[in-house]
Structure 1
Amino acid sequence: MTGTPPYNPDPHAHPGLAAIALLEAGKALAAFLAAAGLEVSGPAPLRTVINTVILRLGGDPEHGSFSSLLGQITPDTVHLAATVLAAYGLLRAVEAWGLWRAHAWASWLGCISAALYLPLDLYAIVKHPGWASWLLLAVNVLVVWVLARDIRKRHLD
């Protein structure tokens, strides 16, 4: 009997899926920690960090658009940002669980979401060429390739 063996839904049979699941779980954890950090610290430390960045870039935090940006950092906007981060973390956690369990929908979700980052990765290379930008592009291309290959295998079997 020749041909390819039937598709195996065991995530451990597909180390690429397991590796991407762990990557997504790490993103989820980082997003949850960032959301919690925003909620715990509130707007004052965030204003201080942004003020420091503005000064290091040679800007004036007291005038112009930078002053407007600092004025937008309120308890309400911090709560909104924390909510968005928590929602992002939840999406990544669900994707990680689905990939770990080798669900087809998780491969689709991961492939589409990673592909959406590719234009931004290319823009980053143009604006900030360096090994970090290239590494990020390479990781995202690899994720798209592995997940697209998984989707294709499922379609053929």
Structure 2
Amino acid sequence: MTSNKPYNPDPHAHPGLAAIALLEAGKAVLAFLAAAGLEISGPAPLRNIINALIHRAGGDPENGAFSSLLGMITPDTVHLGAAVLVGYGLLRALEAWGLWRAKAWASWLGCISAALYLPLDFYAIVKHPGWASWLLLAVNLLVVWVLARDLGKRHKR
């Protein structure tokens, strides 16, 4: 059933867009915090965490690929990781701003980026079935549906 009401670009008329904008803003904040944490802590804590994960998985951090992985964690790679996180945070913040303002480009960006995660969500369900994997898939499917629906309404205008 289609509505004869004209499309309203007011973001408050679209609570789904506002909710997704807040979700994306939260991702941006987390990315910025993670980048700051990397820069403040440096490579040593990251090496310790990865070392503990290798031990927990039953690997040997002193030999083979794990040794190479630990050797790659340097101040330069930590700076690179922090820069990537800042870039990701800026992208999410830009998307959040655009969705909050009900911009079509932001709906496109959000729809495409959420859809790119779907294969990973399905893989996570296969490898680690559980409520968290299913919840993540459901959220991403809902985001794609809301944004695709918004784009469809804009196209019909």
TM-score, normalised with respect to structure 1:
0.97
Q: Which residue of 1 aligns with 2:13?
A: 13
Please say if 1:22 is aligned against 2:22.
yes
Q: Provide the C-alpha distance between the structure 2 equivalents of 1:132 and 1:96, rounded to a whole number of angstroms.
A: 24
Q: Provide the C-alpha distance between the structure 2 equivalents of 1:66 and 1:128, rounded to a whole number of angstroms.
A: 23
Which residue identity is paired with 2:120?
L
Equivalenced residue count is: 155
Instruction: Give 1:26 shift.
Output: 0.3
Q: CA RMSD in A?
A: 0.7
Q: Provide the C-alpha distance between the structure 1 equivalents of 2:54 and 2:145, rounded to a whole number of angstroms.
A: 39
Q: Provide the C-alpha distance between the structure 2 equivalents of 1:62 and 1:82, rounded to a whole number of angstroms.
A: 26
User: CA deviation digits over 1:25-81, x for unaligned, max 9?
Assistant: 000000000001001110011001111111111111111111110000000000000
Q: Provide the C-alpha distance between the structure 2 equivalents of 1:15 and 1:69, rounded to a whole number of angstroms.
A: 44
> Percent identical across equivalent pairs?
83
Instruction: Give 1:5 shift.
Output: 1.1
- Moved beyond 3 Å, runs of 4+: none
* Unaligned 5+ runs, structure 2: none
Q: Which residue of 2 aligns with 1:56?
A: 56
Instruction: Give 1:91 shift.
Output: 0.1
Which residue identity is paired with 2:76?
D
Instruction: Give 1:149 shift.
Output: 0.1
